[in-house]
Amino acid sequence: MSMVTWLYLIFALALVNWLVGVAALKSFLSRTPAIANAFDLESYAGLVRRHMAQALLQAFLLVAGMLLGIYVLASNQVGLLQVLALNGIILAAGKLGKPLEERARSLPVGDPLLEQRYRSIGITWVKKPFPDF
């Protein structure tokens, strides 16, 4: 397989990873309009754990894609426009998914005891690479 094929494959995997993450967020948000009980909170925690793992996979794929993009550019196997287009698609996709993440982190919570844990999970989601809950 050529390096250009690998480049396209890596970016395709990154898009699939993004689609899976967005689908999970949409599914959770459609089932859970609010954190009403411990089951909803555990469902949220599971979503966040999976999403954090996907974020690490995405980071790996994007770093690999960036390094491979530099290599194929330097060896004149592709043009700059192709590499920029691939990266632009991934950047746009990431920006499209952010509002869903923000909605998932800002659901109403009926119970003050659940709210503290819900907020803590949300902070971990944004600030740490691994779940600690």
pLDDT given for residue 71 in this prediction: 96
pLDDT given for residue 54 in this prediction: 97
Q: Measured between alpha carbons, how far is 59 from 80 in angstroms, rounded to an integer?
A: 21
Angle among Cα 119, 125, 131 to the nearest 5 degrees reads 105
What's this model's pTM, rounded to 2 decimal places?
A: 0.90
Report domain extents, the chain. 3-127
Could you please report the per-residue DSSP string of 20-72?
A: HHHHHHHHHHHH-SSB-SHHHHHHHHHHHHHHHHHHHHHHHHHHHHHHHHHHH
pLDDT given for residue 116 in this prediction: 96
pLDDT given for residue 33 in this prediction: 96
pLDDT given for residue 92 in this prediction: 96
44-102 residue pLDDT tens = 999 999 999 999 999 999 999 999 999 999 999 999 999 999 999 999 999 999 999 99
pLDDT given for residue 14 in this prediction: 97
Per-residue pLDDT, averaged over 32-52, amounts to 97
Q: How many CA atoms lie within 13 A of 7 on its CB side?
A: 20
